Chain A
């Protein structure tokens, strides 16, 4: 069973059409939740780190929020250049510093 689940798998938006991506995790003892952006054929680009429920981070048109069991990446008025795969990763308690990644959400923004 996947510990980190991202939904939807793929999302198509019109330019300016705001939406949210979801990342849910099934384990307790979260020691950090990370969002990355990945363009085709390239390495993931770090976006945000969230550590506790209620925490929010913003960067340009992106806003990440965290609850006890899930995180949302809100995209406000997206532009075509926001098209990418968005990856979520969690780092769990127990002394491990190794993050577990979800499969990602592929976002396409049409002009």
Chain B
């Protein structure tokens, strides 16, 4: 079975521009989460979606938004890009949300560089 897929793999944008990142979860997985990982640090939680509803939001500005589609794929949008948004953006999927079955499986990430 295919794992979590993300597109694009790399992206270079200019300050002030907008970007959309895409994620397809493992088949059968209903939950998708987005993380930002700056070099040398652990992933920081941005959003979690389950059954197309937002179930959690991290401490990120309103410039960050996301959605989940009926096929459980997801998009992360970032408006008015800042240099500090440069990072590896990770998508993770899990089967359900409940304890005992909540292990998350990560995609390869999208490397965003803002110049």
Contact = CB atoms under 8 A, between A and B. Distances in A.
Interface of A: 4, 31-32, 34, 36, 41-46, 49, 51, 87, 89, 91, 96-104
Given A100-B45, A101-B42, A104-B41, 11 more contacts: A36-B106, A42-B109, A43-B4, A43-B92, A46-B105, A89-B42, A91-B99, A96-B56, A97-B55, A97-B56, A101-B44
A101 B107 CA distance: 16
Interface of B: 4, 33, 40-45, 48, 55-56, 58, 88, 90, 92, 97-100, 102-109, 111
Contacts of A98: 33, 45, 48, 56, 58
Given A97-B48, A98-B56, A43 B108 contact: yes
**Interface SS of chain B:** loop
A45 B102 CA distance: 14
A3 to B, nearest CB: 11
A43 B107 contact: yes
Contacts, number: 59
A66 to B, nearest CB: 15
B103 A87 contact: no
B106 to A, nearest CB: 4
A2 to B, nearest CB: 10
Nearest to A43: B106
B42 A97 contact: no
